[in-house]
Amino acid sequence: MDIERFKKEHADLMAAVTSLRELVQHGVGERADAIHRQLSAMNSAIKLHLAAEDRMLYPALMKAADPAVAQTGRQFQEEMGGLAAAYMAFAARWNLAGKIAADPRGFRDDANDVFKALHLRVQRENRELYPLAERL
C-alpha cells in the first residue's frame, strides 16, 4: 500500500504544530487571531487526514491476511476514536479568537495536552502502523 500521502500529512501536521507553538510563545493574547487562523487550517487538515485513514488505511490493514496486522489496524482505529474526540472537543472550545484571548493559560494548557497526545500518536503510527501498511 502506498502511504506516502499519509507520511506527508504527518510531516505537514507536525510543522503546523511547531508554527502554532511559536505563535503561543510570543503571547497567546497578543497572537489570538493568528493562533485562531492556524488552528482553523489545522482542523481542516486533521479532519481530512482522519477521514482518509478511516476510509483507506484501517480497512486495508483489517483485511490483511496476517491476523496480527489486522488486529493492529483494528487497535489503532479504536484508539484513534478517543484522540479524535479529544481533538474535536479542543477545537470546539477554542473556535474563536476571542475565546483564546480571554483565557491564554487555559488555551496553552489545553493545547499542550492535546498536541502532546497528537504528537505521540503520529510517532506511533510512523513507527508501528505505517511499516505494516507498506508491506500490504
Could you report the per-residue pLDDT of 101-121, keeping only the tens digit for each? 999 999 999 999 999 999 999
Cα separation, 16 vs 118, whole angstroms: 12
Q: Can you give the residue range of the structural domain that contains 30?
A: 4-134
* pTM for the structure as a whole: 0.85
Which one, of 52, 36, 121, 41, lies nearest residue 83 by Cα?
A: 121
The count of domains in the chain is: 1
Q: 50 pLDDT band (50/70/90 cuts)?
A: confident
Could you report the per-residue pLDDT of 52-92, keeping only the tens digit for each? 888 899 999 999 999 999 999 999 988 887 888 889 899 99
Q: Which residue has the higher pLDDT, 6 or 84?
A: 6
Cα separation, 13 vs 11, whole angstroms: 5
